[in-house]
Amino acid sequence: MASRRINGRYTDIGAAYLVADDPAFAEQTESWQALGLARPWTDTLRVYPAGTDTRGPVRWAAPGGLRSLAADLADGLDIRLFTPVVSIESVAQGADAVVLAMPGPQALKLSPPPAIVPAAASQSWQPVIAAVLTYPVRSWNGLHGAFVNDHPVLATVCDDGDRRGDAAPVLVAHSTAQLASEHLDAPAEAGPILAAAVGELLGITASPQIETHRWTYAQPEKASDAPYARDGQVWLCGDAFGRPRVQTAWLSGRAMASALLGK
């Protein structure tokens, strides 16, 4: 649920939207809607190479970027940003529990590795590079977002101005895992490649401003039927514990919190 401020507005560069088909998460999403933080976006996405529109569940978006929803959940908590944590021991002293809400491979980088190593090591993730493409004007019509199948470099493209509701001439493209793997050390090099692919797909001739973001751990494969993992006082949760969705991450954290609190 990452949003980056580009040209004075937040652009979603991580998850493209929310799907809320679990009753508890649907209730949470509706509470965000009541606060003006979330809105129903679309139930129709295009599928290429056929270029046909396909209906599915309602996708939710956030006018202030999906990051605003995480900020709402964090309201009132003692949050410390930009604080490197290299050791479990550095935060475990005096704590009832340590929660690692992160991809397993990142948890394994802690020194010494946490006791929850087997659960973390069993996770498999694929990388993605996101390219934010800001054009001089909008030159496409009727596109909310699209899945691009069987393409060598492009996996999805979404109209950020449409999902945010401000009609900004901004598209966000996500790469295939193969392209991301080839450019993890220099993600900016993938930007023009993705821009060219989007231009060809949608018939856009204008050159966009390009911003890229590397997601080394972007798309998890389901690692377990359990909603979280635990070893002693260390807990691991996130979107690898089910279908790779925002909803899955929320449900994983909620189930873990309920167990931790004994509810």
Q: Domain of 233: which CATH number? A: 3.50.50.60
Which residues partner with 18 through β-bridges? 60
What does pTM read for this prediction? 0.93
Give me the CATH number covering residue 38.
3.90.660.10
Query: Rounded to the nearest 10 degrees, what angle do helices 246-260 and 23-34 cross at?
Result: 110
Mark whether 191 and 135 lie in a shared domain. Answer: yes
| Span 129-183, pLDDT tens digits | 999 999 999 999 889 999 999 999 999 999 999 999 999 999 999 999 999 999 9
Q: For residues 215 and 203, what is the distance between their CA atoms, to the nearest angstrom? A: 27
Q: What contacts 46, CB < 8 A, 6 or more positions away?
A: 52, 53, 54, 143, 144, 145, 146, 147
- As a dihedral over the C-alpha atoms of residue 15, residue 4, residue 39, residue 74, rounded to 10 degrees, the angle is 90
Q: Are residues 245 and 214 in the same domain?
A: no
Containing structural domain, residue 245:
84-123+223-260
Domain match, 203 and 246 both: no
Q: What is the pLDDT of residues 89-112, one digit of tens each?
A: 767 777 888 999 999 999 998 877
Query: Is 41 inside a domain boundary?
Result: yes
pLDDT at position 104 is 93
Count: domains in the chain: 2
Residues 207 and 248 grouped into a single domain: no
What pLDDT is stored for residue 110 in this prediction? 87
- C-alpha–C-alpha distance, residues 135 and 207, integer Å: 7
Does one domain contain both 133 and 44?
A: yes
Looking at the fold, whether 22 and 45 belong to one and the same domain comes out as yes
pLDDT band, residue 56 (cuts 50/70/90): very high
Residues 55 and 133 in one domain: yes
76 is a domain residue: no
